[in-house]
Amino acid sequence: MAGFLLRRLASLAFVLLAMTVLVFGIVHLLPGSVAHMILGEYATNEAIATLEAKLGLNDPLYVQYWRWLSGLLHGDFGQSLTMERPAGPVILEALARSATLAGVSIVLVAIIGVSLGIHSAVHKGSASDRALTLAQYFFIAVPEFFWCILVILFFAVWLGWLPATGYTPISDGGVLGWAKHLVLPVSTLVLGLIAHVSRLTRSSMLEAIDSRYVLAARAKGLPERIVLRRHALPNALLPTITVLAVDIGILIGGIVVVESVFAYPGLGRMLVYAIDNQDLPLMMGGMIVITAVYALANLVADILYAVLNPRIRVGGTAA
């Protein structure tokens, strides 16, 4: 197990390091000069040249890269170009808010998705199973950005009732005020994912129910509830864990859209802002942070998978 962990950690470190090179490289392909961006369109050429020298923008790229990377390792994300303040706190605050959104969503997806999936599998062929299957087909297929339109249309335009948008910290609005602001973005984010997870849980649960060891347990005369809970469920949950990790990737994509629509000041919106305004330090920092989160989520999923299923440890990672 220790060897497996070490290997996964090493690969994580590699991915993150390579990602810094990739992000730095792509960002420096962007048209326009950084000094120009800082000083705005009203800068004189001398002012740009002075600033370029001061920021070391004339140094070779690898020197600049090293400067940025060693800053990163010390927790310094550089200075936001457009907001004239350190990028680190901006990124981390946005991350904390997005993490709230994503955390609440993924917990809801796991609980609701898995329960619905088990329910469907156990009551295979029933009216509720068929209704769920039909709903799943629909919900999986609706893109997040269209969900947002539907949610706005439904709540804001037709009902004339819109739970609060934006964000309120617990310190200001209390738990209720804080939770109120999560309702719309979270519900928009989770609908598709719940459909996805419940669908998967259903099929893996069905497979598990038909498997030999469940048959054996039944043959031993164990009550059906215990058979399902002790024997079928753990096996059925294995693929679900991997899928939840993949879903975090989808969630991150969804967050970019959902945060913009509901004015939620998280990482996704910050990143779109940074790209639109070519705020390079903010952009690079945001990218690295998102990658790190995503990679960590995958690592956790792999470890969970390995813990639950000892056979996998020797092999590669799960697709």
Partner 1 sequence: MRIDRRTALALPALIATAALPRTGATQAGGGNFRIAVSSNLRFLDPAKTTIGEEYMLNQLVFNGLTRMKEDMSVEPELAESWTYSDDLKTWTFKLRRGVRFHHGREMTAEDVIATYRRVLDPATASPARTNYDMIQAIEAPDPATVIFRLSYPYGGFADILSDRQVKIVPADKLDTLATQPIGTGPFTFRSYTPGDRVTLARFADYWEAGQPRFDAVELRVLPEMAVRIAALQAGDLDAVWDLGPENIRQLKDARGVRVESVATASWDGGIMNNAIAPFNDVRVRRALHLAVAKADVVEAVLFGEGKPTISPIPPGHPFYANDIRLPERADVAGARRLLREAGHPNGVKVPLVIPVGRPVRERLGVTLQQLARPAGFEIEIQRVPFGRYSAEVSGKAPFYIDGYFARPTVDTATYGFLHSQGSWNQRLWLYKDERVDKALEAARLTGDPAQQKPHYIEMQRAMFDNPPGYIAYAVNFACAYRDRVKDVATHPMRWFDLRRGYIAA
Partner 2 sequence: MSASLAAPGLRLPRTLLVGLVIVGVIGVLAVLGPWIAPYDPQDFSMRMRLKPPSAAHWFGTDEFGRDVLSRVLSGAHYSLAMGFGATAISLAIGVPLGLLAAFHRGWVEEVIMRGVDLLISLPPVLLGLLILAVTEPGLFKTILAVGLVYVPIMTRLARAVALELLAEDFVEAARARGEGAWHILVREILPNAWPPLIVETALRVTFAILLGSALSFLGLGPQPPASEWGLMIAESRPFIAEAPWIGLAPGLCLCLLLIAVNVVGEGLRDLLDPRLRGRGHG
6 binds partner 2 (CB under 8 A): no
Q: Residue 65, interface with partner 2 (CB under 8 A)?
A: no
Cα dist from 315 to 214, 256, 296, 309, whole Å: 25, 35, 20, 11
In the list partner 1, partner 2, none, the entry touching 167 (Cβ below 5 to 8 angstroms by class) is partner 1
Task: State which of positions 147-176 bind partner 1 (CB under 8 A).
Answer: 152, 155-157, 160-162, 164-167
Interface pick for partner 1 out of 1, 53, 61, 85 (rule CB under 8 A):
85
Pick the closer one to partner 2 by CB: 78 or 286. 286
- CA atoms 256, 258, 260, 266: torsion sign: negative
Beta bridge partner(s), residue 79: 86
Per CB under 8 A, which region of 61-69, 88-96, 119-127, 203-211 contacts partner 2? 203-211
Alpha helices in 142-266 (DSSP H): 144-151, 170-180, 183-209, 212-219, 224-226, 233-261
Report the Cα 219 to chain-centroid distance in Å.
Answer: 43
96 binds partner 1 (CB under 8 A): no
The interface mask with partner 1, positions 97-136, x = CB under 8 A, is ----------------------------------------
Q: Structure tokens of 199?
A: 């669908």
User: Is the Cβ of residue 16 or residue 222 nearer to partner 2 in the bound state?
Assistant: 16
Q: Using the rule CB under 8 A, which residue among 114, 245, 261, 297 binds partner 1?
A: 261
User: CA 29 to CA 21: how far, in whole Å?
Assistant: 12
Nearby residues of 157 by Cβ (< 8 Å), 6 or more positions away: none
Decide: 288 and 23 in contact? Cβ < 8 Å: yes
- Sites of contact with partner 1 (CB under 8 A): 31-33, 36-37, 39-44, 46-47, 50, 82-85, 90, 93-94, 152, 155-157, 160-162, 164-167, 260-263, 265-266, 269-270, 273, 275-278
